[in-house]
Amino acid sequence: MARYTGPKHRLARKEGVNLLDKTSQSLQRRLSTPPGIHGKKRKRRLSEYGLQLREKQKAKTTYGLLEKQFKRIVQTVRKQKGDTKELIISALETRLDNLVYRLGFAKTRYMARQFVSHGHILVNGVKLSIPSYQVRVDDVISLNTKAQTNPRVLELFKEEVETLPFLDKKGMSGKLKRMPKKEDIQVPFDLQLIIEYYSR
């Protein structure tokens, strides 16, 4: 399945939750109305499967993943020891493209994925162009010389970006201090329903 490249607002309205990397007054006003000519009709009550499916779709949209990628993450962590919900969050949050976004090097996850794919991101001083690369504890993520002079990046560094507890940021580089925990991140989807969806 190809990655969705249409309007991001449409995805957010479809799920009824702001799944985007930024907010807008226009989107907030229309979140309760699904897209399309039948959007204002009363929504049918979803079945248990329908609820699980919606939560899975929200998670995929939030992190910009394809079904195959997301399914692989969930199935992999279910085989590991520990809290499955926390392991899913850790796997999603430690993707290289997501950490480039979380460190404030890119305004959106889509932009972060482009930066990685185009070779603008270094991990421990080595160029990595795989957005799904799982960053390890103590790995240092930085921008290459070309990206450091990018006007869009320089504009971003003027903004105050909250650094999450599991990250350490200094200038144009950042480090994964420890693995993310559930309480570090507020996600707009229900992890339990997602686990149930893939347990069928």
Q: Over the chain, what is the mean pLDDT?
A: 87
Domain that holds residue 50: 8-91
Tokens 């796997």 — which residue? 91
Buried b vs exposed e over 42-54: b needs ≥16 C-beta within 10 Å?
eeeeeeeeeebeb
Strand partners, 170: 173
Strand partners, 167: 176
Residues 82 and 129 in one domain: no
Pairing of the two strands 167-170 and 121-123: unpaired
pLDDT digits (tens, 9 = 90+) for 69-109: 999 999 999 999 999 999 999 999 999 999 999 999 999 99
Residue 70: count other Cβ atoms within 10 Å of its Cβ: 20
Asked if 121 and 198 touch (Cβ cutoff 8 Å), the reply is: no
Residues 134 and 100 in one domain: yes
- The answer as to whether 156 is a domain residue is yes
Q: Residue 42 has what pLDDT? A: 58
Strand partners, 122: 127, 142
Residues 6+ positions from 120 with CB-CB distance below 8 Å = 143, 144, 146, 147, 150
Q: Closest by alpha carbon to 104, among 178, 168, 60?
A: 168
In the chain, the number of structural domains is 2
Residues 141 and 159 in one domain: yes
Q: Residue 33 has what pLDDT? A: 66
Kindly report the CATH number assigned to the domain that includes residue 30: 1.10.1050.10
Residues 6+ positions from 39 with CB-CB distance below 8 Å = 13, 33
Q: Residue 21 has what pLDDT? A: 61
Kindly report the CATH number assigned to the domain that includes residue 146: 3.10.290.10
Nearest 10 degrees: Cα torsion 68, 69, 72, 78: -130
- The answer as to whether 120 is a domain residue is yes
pTM metric for this prediction: 0.80
Residues 72 and 146 in one domain: no
Residues 120 and 72 in one domain: no
Residues 13 and 79 in one domain: yes
- The answer as to whether 193 is a domain residue is no
At residue 52, φ and ψ (nearest 5 deg) are -65, -40
- The answer as to whether 3 is a domain residue is no
